[in-house]
Amino acid sequence: MIEPTLLEFANYNQWANQQLLIICAPLNEALLTAIIPGSVGSITATFGHILRAELGFLERINGRFPNPDFDWNENPTLTQMAAYSTQLSAAFLSTLKQVSSTQNVHEENEVWLFNYQARLVFMSLIYHGISHRTDITTFLTSQGIDLPELDVWGYEEAFPDRFNAKLIRKGE
């Protein structure tokens, strides 16, 4: 049985990725390709980095991941990356349902052996996504672009029933 908070974190990660991809899709090429200081590159490059990392996380846990319908070397569009993000999210949710968070993950190469629990990868999915989405949102805000809340409170507002959330204003 999957722990509900872990499931919500994975759902939140996908929701936040999709919301930011939707926000960025109509931006002009100059904004999409501008280098974001202190980050992995441009908005487009950052989304590619996020998705390739998610692919790598899946590979570490179960050796399987969906292949994109595009070639990374041909500079995929944000629309292509959004579709691939949906595939990765579905694969991650399936993995969460099949792999215990305390299951051992084993990695090795010619230099080292590394054993750890799968929850380290699950945590990495969330942390990594938040970190790089913050790079993008900070840059967009510095460009004068107003953004909706993409944090967990924005997620709760989008899905109040998932949290049994009811806001009652006193005096009304």
- Kindly list the distances between the CA atom of residue 78 and the CA atoms of 34, 81, 128, in Å, as whole numbers in the listed order: 15, 5, 19
DSSP-assigned beta bridge partners for residue 105: 116
Quote the pLDDT of residue 6.
93
Residue 91 above 90 pLDDT?
Answer: yes
Q: What is the mean pLDDT of residues 73-86?
A: 95
**Angle between helix 4-24 and 118-142 (nearest 10):** 30
For residue range 104-161, what is the model confidence (pLDDT) as tens digits? 999 999 999 999 999 999 999 999 999 999 999 999 999 999 999 999 999 999 999 9
- Amino acid identity, residue 143? Q
pLDDT band at 170 (very low <50, low <70, confident <90, very high): very high
- Amino acid identity, residue 106? H
Q: Where are the beta strands (DSSP E) in the chain?
A: 104-108, 113-117
For residue range 3-53, what is the model confidence (pLDDT) as tens digits? 889 999 999 999 999 999 999 999 999 999 999 999 999 999 999 999 999
